[in-house]
Amino acid sequence: MPRRAPFIVIEGLDRSGKTTQTSLLHSHLESLKISTKLLKFPDRTTAIGKMIDSYLRSQSELDDHAIHLLFSANRWELAPTITSLLTSGTLVLCDRYAFSGIAFSAAKPSLRATFPSTENDALLWCRAPDISLPAPDLTIFLDITPDQAKLRGGYGEERYEKEEMQKRVREVFHRLGEEMSSPVDGVNDSKDKRWVVVDAGREREVVARELWQLVEPLIEGVDEEVGRLWE
């Protein structure tokens, strides 16, 4: 098959600098004349995205399971676009993806309560709707402590921007990262193993340089077909 463009995801806690770093990376790729599409989840512009936006701003209430499925549906609405961009040679750079979806929901006490036997059941339920989405070739996790994040202007007004929640989310993210490099339920798939943790508590430029070192080897393109998450 002909080469296709790489799919790169930037993940992290709130205030870790995802939007700052994805836009720096986007500008750098454009300055090198590399065809790039910048995406962001949640995509608040679609009909589903508008429901998510209203929920995040606490203007509406939704059951925790229902909002989880909406976040996933919001990714599925963009999935065909992601795949066709990649196969037509446009690099896709994405600010948050399925890992945020799992981490933020699995951190909620209400969802854990649905599956009282083991915490892993909640995690598996949260992961299920995202199974088979286009898999990133590289996921960069911007790691920051909730204390460092708080120094960045404090958390804002949105629903999840509370310290306790962020601590639990960070734990789930780290667990997801560990799973990427070890078998889950005996299944050891290599396609979605590219998970790299970057210390995001440093200066913007230092973080940006490290990101570029990770991304540069991929810009020549990828020989494999677009993978599918957790398949």
For residues 84 to 123, the per-residue mask of contacts with ligand T5A, x marking binding by CB under 6 A and - elsewhere, is: ------------x---xx--x-------------------
> For 168-198, b where at least 16 C-beta lie within 10 A, e where not — what string?
bbbebbebbbebbeeebeeeeeebbebbeeb
> Which residue is at the shortest CB distance from Na ion?
19
Nearer to ligand T5A, 185 or 205 (CB): 205
Tell me how far apart the alpha carbons of residues 90 and 6 are, in angstroms, rounded to a whole number: 8
Candidates 26, 37, 112, 152: give the one binding ligand T5A (CB under 6 A): 152
Q: How many CA atoms lie within 13 A of 94 on its CB side?
A: 29
Residue 157 in contact with ligand T5A, rule: CB under 6 A = no
Nearest 10 degrees: CA dihedral of 45, 51, 52, 57?
Answer: 100
Nearer to ligand T5A, 36 or 166 (CB): 166
Candidates 8, 10, 17, 19: give the one binding Na ion (CB under 5 A): 19
| H-run or E-run covering 44 | none
Q: Which two tokens stand for residue 228?
A: 């599918």
Report the interface residues with Na ion, using CB under 5 A. 18-19
Report the interface residues with ligand T5A, using CB under 6 A. 12, 14-20, 41-42, 56, 71, 96, 100-101, 104, 152-153, 158, 160, 203-204, 207
